[in-house]
Amino acid sequence: MKKSPADVPPKPSVQVLERMFQLIDVLASREEAISLKEISEKTGLHPSTTHRILNDLTIGRFVDRPEAGSYRLGMRLLELGNLVKARLSVRDAAMAPMRQLHKLIQQPINLSVRQGDEIVYIERTYSERSGMQVVRAIGGHAPLHLTSTGKLFLAADDPQRVRAYATRTGLPGHTRNSITQLPLLERELGRARQQGIAHDNEELELGVRCMAAGVFDDQGQLVAGLSISSPADRLDEGWQTKLQAAAQDISRALGYTSGLRTALNGPAP
């Protein structure tokens, strides 16, 4: 029986990507490393073409070359897979607590994760009644040191890594309130460690203040931040308890227990 167009898997429009996917599929079919010759035979690609693409994938750490002439899947795929897994599971666990928190305070609630030197917004709950325009949509990103969630991740780092971040980024500012000096940032991070809460005092956007609490996984690792965004003159410090309770609910859903140690102090979930 002839397959209909809907039954035929779509192919990439760029030929080299199609070949790359073929190579990855072959490598994924075996636990041990595979020789260049066998990979070429299984994909039907010329050995020189196979070698060229595998070499590029090796540079990107998508493929490892344990010894000359043999290949296996690389650690970069594991890193990316774990990142996707963390985002999906955190988002699923966060949806109900985020909606409940938004219902209580009627302000935008954000769920963010760290990606390198930035935080990325992966979910948001808000309504038009909050009186604040939502500027950064899901998928938006911002520097760690200018956001409440980003400060949580920096507070969880050791001092050497914080200094490396400052050197690497230069601590650029976005507003007149932005923290652009390392000693000031270190003091701010110290407060976040003590309180278990971090703040953004119009440092990313004028007129907007935020507070964030950490979300931890079953290993006690900080995997996300739950934050409240509010017009600067409306942020209520009394929301802190409600914010921490929502973050704790999400953490418990991810398997966190109060017996696990974290890099942040404050009330344990």
Using a 10 angstrom Cβ sphere, with 0-12 exposed, 13-18 middle and 19 or more buried, the burial of residue 243 is buried
Q: Assess whether 131 and 206 both reside in one domain.
A: yes
- What is the token pair recorded at 142? 């911002």
**Cα distances (angstroms) measured from residue 249 to each of 138, 214, 215, 226:** 22, 11, 9, 11
3-state secondary structure 245-266: HHHHHHHHHCCCCCCCCCCCCC
User: At which of 73, 88, 111 does a domain end?
Assistant: 73
267 in a structural domain: no
**How many structural domains is the chain composed of?**
2
Residue span of the structural domain in which 47 resides: 15-73
Residues 86, 217: contact at Cβ < 8 Å? Answer: yes
- Element of type H or E holding 201: strand 197-201
Same domain, 69 and 106: no
**Is the domain of 126 the same as that of 232?**
yes
Q: How far apart are the first and last CA of the chain?
A: 58
Query: How confident is the prediction along the chain (269 residues), in pLDDT tens digits per residue?
Result: 444 444 445 666 678 888 989 999 999 988 899 999 999 999 999 999 999 999 999 999 999 999 888 999 988 888 888 777 777 789 999 999 999 999 999 999 999 999 999 999 999 987 655 555 545 568 889 999 999 999 999 999 999 999 999 999 999 999 999 999 999 999 999 999 999 999 999 999 999 999 999 999 888 999 999 999 999 998 899 999 999 999 999 999 998 887 777 767 544 44
Provide the residue type at 114 as one letter: R
* Rounded CA separation 50/45 (Å): 6
In the sheet that 63-64 helps form, which strands lie side by side, from edge to edge?
A: 34-35, 70-73, 63-64
What CA–CA distance (Å, rounded) separates 224 from 113? 5
Q: Which of 56, 73, 90 is the last residue of a domain?
A: 73
Q: Which of 101, 115, 86, 108 is nearest to 200 (CA)?
A: 108
Residue with tokens 């041990």: 32
Kindly report the CATH number assigned to the domain that includes residue 240: 3.30.450.40
Q: Quick count: other Cβ atoms within 10 Å of Cβ 246? A: 25
The Cα–Cα gap between 66 and 68 comes to 7
**Neighbour tally for 264: CB within 10 Å:** 21
Q: Which residue has the tokens 């976005």?
A: 174
Residues 66 and 190 in one domain: no
Report the DSSP beta bridge partners of residue 231: 208
Find tokens 């991810």 and name the residue: 254
Q: Choose one of 29, 57, 73: the last residue of a domain.
A: 73
pLDDT digits (tens, 9 = 90+) for 169-219: 999 999 999 999 999 999 999 999 999 999 999 999 999 999 999 999 888
